Amino acid sequence: MQVTKGVVKALVGNHAVAYAVKQAKPQVLAVYPITPQTTMLEKLSEYVDRGELKARLIRVESEHSALASIYGAAVAGARVFTATASQGLLYMTEMLYWAGGQRVPIVAAVATRALASPWSILDDHQDFMSKRDAIWIQMMAENVQEAYDLTIQAFRISEHENVVLPVMMGFDGFILTHTMERVEVLHDSVVDSFIPPRKFNLVDFTDPVGVGPVAPPEDYIRMRFEAKKAMERSKRVIKEIFREYEDISGRPQHGLVECFMCRDADYVVVSMGAWSGDARVAVERLRERGAKVGLLKVRVFRPFPFEEVRDYLRDCKGVLVMDRAYSFGSGGILANEVKVSLYGHNVPVHSLVGGLGGMDVRPLHIQTALENLMEGKLEEERWLL
C-alpha cells in the first residue's frame, strides 16, 4: 500500500481517539459519561450532531446498558464503539464477559483510572488489568499518537475473520486523555481502505438462530476452547495488521511488544502505558553512563506475548517490571505475567509497584530502582509510596 502523508494536528488523547472512531465509521455508539473519558463522549456527540459521523449515539442510562446496547447492535450487524473508565468498566463487567463469551466484534476505549474505594479520579491500571480474563483482546497506548493508531487498528483486528473478538484499547487517564500532543492522523480515504466493510451479523430473518442460549457442558467448554484458539491466532493477525499499518502510516508500529535499547541490555525495565515514556528517559540517562539497560514495552496484554517477552529477556541479569495494578495476595499483575514468560529461565524478576491512585512516578524513581537492581540491592517487590 502507498504511504500518504497524514495530517498533523494538536489533540488531547480523548479527542484523538474520538477522531479515530469517526474515521472508523461505527454505525452505533453508546457511551455513558465518566471522568476521565467524558470529553471523548462530548466530542463524539458533536461529530454525530453535525453529521460528520453518520451513526446513532445511544445516550444510555448506565455503562451496563452502554455495552449491552452496542452488543445488541453488533450482533445485528453494526460496527460499534463504547468508551469508559474505572467504576464504569467494573459496572460493564457482566456484559464484557457476555460479549467476550459470544465472540462479538466490539471496540471499547478505556481511559484508565483507579478504582474506589476510596474515591480517586486519577490514573492507574487497576480497572484495565482486572478485565484480563473477559475474553477481550487488550492493548495499551504509551502516548496520544499510539492511542489514535491503536484505535484504528482495533476495529480491523476485532472484525478480522481469523479473530472475531472484542478489543479493548487502554490509555492512561488524564496523563493521555487530557494532554495535548502532536498527532499525525491518516486521511479518511486511507482509513476507509484499511478497514473493510463489516461482515459480521447474526440476525438473519431467513435463517433465524438463537444467540447466546443455554449450552450443555460439552458445547460450553468447546466454545471456551475455540475462544482460546482465537486469542492465540490473533497474535499473528495483530502483528500483520500492525505491519500493514506501518506501511500506510509510515510510522513504526513494532509488534506485540516494543524493544527500546533492550537487545544487548543486561537489565531491562518492562512497562505498559504512559509511564513507558518515563522509563525511556531513565534508560537513556543510564545508557549515557555506560550501563547496559533497556526497556521492553508491552503493547498487547491479551493475548500476552509470552514468546516475545521470553526471547528478549531470557539472557538478562535482572528484570524490573513496573506494576500499576496489583493482585492482592499475589503480586504485581504484569510482573506475574513476566515471571510466567520466563519459567525455566534463571532470570530474577523484580516488581516496582507504583502510580496507584495517580501517585506521581518520575524517571528518577525508575532510574534509582534500576541502579539498585544493578547493585543487587533491589527487593523482589518494592512499592513507591
Partner 1 sequence: MMFLRGNAACPGCPIPRELDALLEVTGERTVLVVPASCTTVIMGDTRGMPSKVPVIHSAFAASSAIASGVRSALDARGEKATVVVWAGDGGTGDIGFASLSGAAERNEDILYVCYDNEAYMNTGVQRSGLTPFGAWTTTTPSGKAESKKPLPKIIADHGVPYVATASIAYLFDYKDKVRKAKEMSGFRYIHLLSPCPPGWRFDAGLTVEIAKLAVETGIWPLYEIEKGKFRLTSISKVLVDKKKRKPVEEYLKLQGRFKDLKGEDVKRIQEEVDQMWEDLARM
13-24 and 144-159 are packed helices; what angle lies between their axes, rounded to 10 degrees?
30
Considering the rule CB under 8 A, would residue 60 count as an interface residue with partner 1?
yes
Burial 36-63 (b: 16+ CB within 10 A, else e): bbbbbbebbbebbeeeebebebbebeeb
**CB of 16 or CB of 195, closer to partner 1:** 195
Element containing residue 90 per DSSP (H, E)? helix 86-91
C-alpha cell at 85: 473508565
**CB of 79 or CB of 125, closer to partner 1:** 79
Considering the rule CB under 8 A, would residue 255 count as an interface residue with partner 1?
no
Answer whether 16's CB lies under 8 Å from 183's CB: yes
**CB of 56 or CB of 243, closer to partner 1:** 56
CB 62, min distance to partner 1, A: 6
Binding to partner 1 by CB under 8 A, coded x per residue (else -) over 178-207, reads ------------------------xxxx--
CB 68, min distance to partner 1, A: 4
Query: Residue 8: what are its φ and ψ, rounded to 5°?
Result: -90, 130
Task: Report the residue from 6, 9, 27, 130 that binds partner 1 according to the rule CB under 8 A.
Answer: 27
CB 14, min distance to partner 1, A: 23
Judged by CB under 8 A, how many residues of this single chain contact partner 1? Answer: 42
* Preceding peptide of 118 cis, ω within 30°: yes
Considering the rule CB under 8 A, would residue 135 count as an interface residue with partner 1?
no
CB 56, min distance to partner 1, A: 4
Bridge partners of 8?
A: 184
CB 189, min distance to partner 1, A: 22
Q: Which residue has the cell 507504583?
A: 354
CB 337, min distance to partner 1, A: 29
For residues 73 and 78, what is the distance between their CA atoms, to the nearest angstrom? 5
How big is the CA angle at 260 (ends 123 and 184), to the nearest 5 degrees?
Answer: 65
Considering the rule CB under 8 A, would residue 108 count as an interface residue with partner 1?
no
Among 60-68, 112-120, 130-138, 328-336, the segment contacting partner 1 (CB under 8 A)? 60-68
Q: Which 3 state secondary structure label does DSSP give 147?
A: helix
C-alpha cell at 383: 512499592
Binding to partner 1 by CB under 8 A, coded x per residue (else -) over 72-91, reads xxxxxxx-x-----------
- Report the interface residues with partner 1, using CB under 8 A: 27-28, 30, 55-56, 58-62, 64-66, 68-78, 80, 94-95, 98, 202-205, 208-216, 219
